[in-house]
Amino acid sequence: MKKAIIPLCLAASVLAASATVSAEPMGRPPMDQPPVGHVYKRLDISRMERHEINHHVYFHDSVNWYLYDPVRTVYVVVDEPQRPRAPVMRDQGEFGEVLTTLPPGAVAVMINGVQYFEKQGRLYLPTQRHGQSVYVHVNR
């Protein structure tokens, strides 16, 4: 009797594990909303919006969010990801501080062939951070 129970338990655990992974026809998710954590081996992402948030790649259709897992090469249904908040910056910034916008009235200046922006004797070096333009307060 004990021998019959073990294969049944093993079969039940295999079925339960495989129930969360699916490959829909043509890689499309079902029309109803799948539960968070549901995993797809393939998705038709050609009509979805692609987002890169906190160094992760997400795809969004009109209803669901999917996180792409490059290690397992699957798409996982997730809640809408939290976008990073822009840091709160003072009007002109302290030395070394990164500003997302220049102080009002800052003007472009060239120093040793490098473009800076200046306001009231403070210099701001334009640069890129995570694909966005930012300005670093630097010494003169």
pLDDT digits 0-9 by tens, 118-132: 888 888 889 888 888
pLDDT digits 0-9 by tens, 18-44: 434 444 434 555 556 789 899 999 999
pLDDT value of position 135: 86
Averaged over 86-113, what is the pLDDT? Answer: 73
Q: Side chain identity at 65, as an amino acid letter?
A: W
pLDDT digits 0-9 by tens, 30-87: 556 789 899 999 999 999 999 988 888 999 998 999 999 998 899 999 999 888 765 5
Structural domain boundaries of the chain? 38-78, 97-137
Helices (H), 58-128: none
End-to-end CA gap in the chain: 84
Residue 31: CB atoms within 10 Å = 6
Alpha carbons 110 and 23: distance in angstroms, whole number: 57
CB contact set of 78 (below 8 Å; sequence gap of 6+):
36, 37, 58, 65, 66, 67
pLDDT band at 139 (very low <50, low <70, confident <90, very high): low
pLDDT value of position 44: 92
Does 90 score more than 80 pLDDT? no
State whether the Cα torsion 83-85-86-87 is positive or negative: negative
Residues 74-101 as b/e (b if ≥16 CB within 10 A, e otherwise) read bbbbeeeeeeeeeeebeebbeeeeebee
* Secondary structure of residue 52 in the 3-state scheme: strand
